[in-house]
Amino acid sequence: MSIGRFRKAFSLLEVIIVLFLIAAVSAVLVANFDSLIRGFQQKSLREVFYQALREGRYQAGFLKEPCTLRFDKEKANFVILSQSEKPLATFPTNLPPDDVFFEMTLILPNPDPQGSLEFKLEDHPTPSLYISPLGYTPPVSIEFKENKETQTLLLDPFSTTALPMPKDREENPS
Q: What is the mean pLDDT of residues 90-104?
A: 81
Whole-model pTM: value is 0.64
104/33 Cα distance (integer angstroms): 37
Asked whether the beta carbons of 71 and 84 are under 8 A apart, the reply is no
Mean pLDDT, the chain, rounded, equals 78
Q: Flag whether pLDDT at 81 surpasses 80.
A: yes
Asked whether the beta carbons of 22 and 29 are under 8 A apart, the reply is no
Express each pLDDT in 42-80 by its tens digit. Answer: 777 888 888 888 898 899 999 999 999 988 888 888 999
Residues in the chain: 174
- The CATH code belonging to domain 45-164 is 3.55.40
